[in-house]
Amino acid sequence: MAKIGIFYGSSTGNTELVAEKIREAFGKDKADLLNVDEASVDDVLRYTYLVFGTSTWGVGDMQDDWEDFAEELKEADLKGRKIALFGVGDQDTYPESFADGMGTLYARLKKSGAGFVGEWPVDGYIFDDSNALKGKKFVGLPLDLDNQDDLTDERIKKWVGQLKKIFK
Ligand SMILES: Cc1cc2nc3c(=O)[nH]c(=O)nc-3n(C[C@H](O)[C@H](O)[C@H](O)COP(=O)(O)O)c2cc1C
């Protein structure tokens, strides 16, 4: 089994696509890919290093499958694990709640005992507000396939490069 577990929720396939790219960037033998729609808390507990990804729906909600899964995870003790978050959103149409799903996921899990890694600067994004901000940085990596897809691969490469130094 790989050491890194990538868990994602995706309604129209964008977050799934990003999760696959992130897995490739780590190296396929290093990371497993799991859809939270089918995953269990026990699956999460198999990994020391975790990557959680959600898109944003409604106005600032997590992707649907994450709603249930985050609730289940609330009971779990994730002490000693490291979690990196990524969020997929649309900063142009939803500038007031850009990648909020990622911020909501962070808020739900921040008392789980896990350590959060993979913060990302706001440079290059154009938005008004996001609950995924912690100080001047995002709590994880936001990606926008609707407006900035040309930056996706580059952002993933850099972010995963940073995580490789932590996930070892
Ligand atoms: C009805 C609707 C509401 C959305 N709300 C938000 C939002 O509040 N913030 C945001 O950043 N993106 C929002 N989005 C954009 C989606 O998160 C984005 O299209 C994403 O790529 C979808 O990923 P998925 O197919 O993996 O679920 C919304 C999209 C739709 C269609």
Give the residue extent of every domain in the chain: 4-166
Cβ of residue 6 lying under 6 Å from some atom of ligand 1 = no
Give distance in angstroms: CA of 1 to centre of ligand 1: 32
Task: Report whether pLDDT(1) > 70.
Answer: no
Instruction: Give mean pLDDT, residues 147-159.
Output: 98
The class of domain 4-166 in CATH terms is alpha beta
d(CA 109, CA 47): 16
d(CA 94, CA 57): 10
Nearest protein CA to atom 25 of ligand 1, as residue: 12
> Which band of pLDDT confidence, cut at 50, 70 and 90, is reported for residue 168?
confident
| Closest ligand 1 atom number to CA of residue 55 | 17
Cβ of residue 63 lying under 6 Å from some atom of ligand 1 = yes
Please check whether residue 6 is in contact with residue 34, taking contact to mean a CB–CB distance below 8 angstroms: yes
**Predicted pLDDT of residue 2:** 63
